[in-house]
Amino acid sequence: MEQHVYPVSDDWAKKAWVDNDKYLEMYKASVADPEAFWAEHGKRLDWIKPYTKVKNTNYGYPDVSIKWFEDGTLNLSANCIDRHLDKRGDQVAIIWEGDDPKDDAKITYRQLHEHVCKLANVFKSNGVTKGDRVTIYM
């Protein structure tokens, strides 16, 4: 299999949150003690009900089961969108590009929040309540 490597410009590398040395350090920590590594990163999220179990895994066939933070409860929208509104509301949250490169859009956190609220109200007006599972084909 042919492999292509695309070099990262110095300007982009300076903007990175994690350089290669930090990545390798984090990778080693994640492999050496996954429980501690992910417990620390789980603290980066806002929890409604904090977790006490980081992971619960079974790799035995045929009962493969992988559960992360299974006894905790969080609000995905609050973590991905809402908590960014005050400081980053006007920053781009999503860069979308269609099949035609001329067909693209940049959506800010505030715009995304507005779309999510509209969709939530559509669900609510159609009788969807807490605990219901909804599948969306996009």
Closest of 47, 71, 67, 69 to residue 59, by C-alpha? 67
pLDDT tens, position by position, 37-87: 999 999 999 999 999 999 999 999 999 999 999 999 999 999 999 999 999
* 3-state SS assignment for residue 68: strand
What are the boundaries of each domain within the chain? 1-73, 75-138
pTM: 0.75
- Tokens representing 88? 């980053």
106 band by pLDDT with thresholds 50, 70 and 90:
very high
Q: Residues near 85 by Cβ (< 8 Å), separated by ≥ 6?
A: 109, 110, 113
Query: Is residue 138 over pLDDT 90?
Result: no
